[in-house]
Structure 1
């Protein structure tokens, strides 16, 4: 963040000098580093999930669950302008054969679009010869300095950018990316001493099941993600962790039984409706336990967080044993990746 705004400041000052408009009594230039100017910085995390692209078994076509969770981690200045933004998509598929037995390796690592990089293989099908991550980098750069309202007002054609600054560099559809950013802004909270903000994602399909005598087939995609802000010393000043847990159920004939148009809420968005409290040995809902875990991470480096005492993958630290009993490995991994991706 500091490098970005430092470069902006240098460019503005250089233009002023060239025009002969500089003065020893000039006011500070707008757009400089908000942290150094003691301005308010807000950090937020937002996501949008869909299973609409899942397919039924029909004829020679076998069933396949597909869950797409679009995630945005962003920071904003006091006027709501985007300072940093990172967008990624957790796209996971679970394929079945004609007997509704899973053919996908559910133990294999599932990578997000950003993590796949060139392996996502959009470039050969792109009319501008750019991979997904390259186009997303262009879109994110265009968002910097704009408010969410200005971003939502982008000129579109067939849900693709028609803005002259983007038509040659971004041809992907953008509605879900903008929706995730809008949620990130709605969820944003004030944070002090922010140096970098990053997004971390981890995906699992391990809890998916094949059809059996007792149960019909069901795919389950768990996408865990974090927006984490650190200070100049690498200590966490804010972290937000959430999980999009999406189940795609099939009937005996391999047809999807979910309402494909229904809103899919994350664990945080579900709140009490996630219904962990009745099964919790400490009587706390998932979002309550996650708030405690996030608070514990504040002021710690990622090394200190990864060094947490664990027992059966649950916190054994005296500060957490009475407030957090959920398993924490995927949450720590998401934060670790967010810190590594900070910008």
Structure 2
């Protein structure tokens, strides 16, 4: 009897020990972006037909994904930073307010205004959520195999029940997110955020010997991904910018930029971004981004917020300036949003 009792106690202790030693799930975390720029020239008035503004439009799809050890989707998010209707007149004047572009499609929620026109009565954020929930449990190959119509919508009735918007750009960004995914251990929370900034300048007509100057729009989308431990300390972070600068138009309202040339983010351009020669520290943008992200690992949000920046947004600390001299104010602001958006990893 005594031996049996000892054996039972030993078995219980062993069970508890093994349970306590069960390793936490190790996942891969990734973000992918797809840039799409469109443009149309302004059309002068003709008889009774009024003039028509020209415009640029910029869509940046951002997909985040969490993958388990078998490559199956644990969770995913899909958002679009949309800066459409960047209008200009036939005289090259701005006809859009750059400051009005602050929220992504998902962030706009019901204010995006899709529900009334939707065949299933769903807002964009609801359709995005349905799709990302739908792919949970799938592998990258299974997501890639989702059939699409010629216009980019899913053909499966299972998907169309909750998502009727085009998902071709989602699939493309998802594939990039999977390719970019990095294994990280001891993650308690994971978050992604974007920050939109639009600038604009009207075209200037020629004056005497001074040549005319094109007008332009510029769109910067900061994208930050962060993983946090149980104490709120940063385990990993990435920073990229989808930059579509110099969307030019003439004083006659003609396009003077190639929309198809905008395909890569600053980080994706690597050495082709061309910052190294002009950099006071001889570093490319992707190198400066990497240095800053490595610098804040181990910090909490309050520590990052305490980093001093100049009036023009650069760090003032010599410890940071040795590796990152570009402005970091938008990085800090976007990181704040990413941490606020962070969800628990189970």
Select which of 154, 168, 181 maps to 2:146.
Answer: 154
Select which of 87, 90, 93 maps to 2:81.
Answer: 90
Change in Cα spacing, 1:239 to 1:211, as seen in structure 2 (3 Å) is same
Q: Say which is worse superposed, 289-298 or 159-168, in terms of deviation.
A: 159-168
Aligned to 1:183: 176
| Residue 263 of structure 1: how far off its partner (Å) | 5.1
Aligned to 1:29: none
Give the match's secondary structure for 2:111. helix
Aligned to 1:225: 223
CA distance in 1, matches of 2:66, 2:338: 14
After superposition, the C-alpha distances for 1:152-211 in whole angstroms (9 at most, x for unaligned) are 1113334222334322111010000111111111111121111222210111112x2210
Aligned to 2:242: 244
CA distance in 2, matches of 1:98, 1:261: 23
For the Cα contact (< 8 Å) 2:201–2:216, is it kept in 1? Answer: yes
Give the match's secondary structure for 2:126. helix
After TM superposition, which residue ranges in structure 1, 4 or more long, deviate above 4 angstroms? none
Aligned to 1:37: 23
CA distance in 1, matches of 2:101, 2:158: 36
For the Cα contact (< 8 Å) 1:84–1:197, is it kept in 2? Answer: no
Within the alignment, does 1:72 sit opposite 2:71 as a pair?
no
For the Cα contact (< 8 Å) 2:94–2:201, is it kept in 1? Answer: yes
**Aligned 1:193-232 pairs, distance under 5 A:** 193-206=186-199, 208-213=200-205, 214-232=212-230
Within the alignment, does 1:129 sit opposite 2:121 as a pair?
yes
TM-score, normalization: structure 1? 0.85
| Residue 260 of structure 1: how far off its partner (Å) | 3.4
| Residue 339 of structure 1: how far off its partner (Å) | 1.3
Going by fraction, where is helix more abundant, 1 or 2? Answer: 2
After superposition, the C-alpha distances for 1:67-98 in whole angstroms (9 at most, x for unaligned) are 11111122211222112212111111321123
For the Cα contact (< 8 Å) 1:45–1:240, is it kept in 2? Answer: no
**Aligned 1:82-121 pairs, distance under 5 A:** 82-93=73-84, 94-121=86-113
Aligned to 1:61: 52
**Aligned 1:289-308 pairs, distance under 5 A:** 289-308=288-307
After superposition, the C-alpha distances for 1:204-253 in whole angstroms (9 at most, x for unaligned) are 112x2210144212211111111111122221111111101113222443
Select which of 151, 164, 176 maps to 1:171.
Answer: 164
Q: How many residues align?
A: 308
| Residue 39 of structure 1: how far off its partner (Å) | 4.2
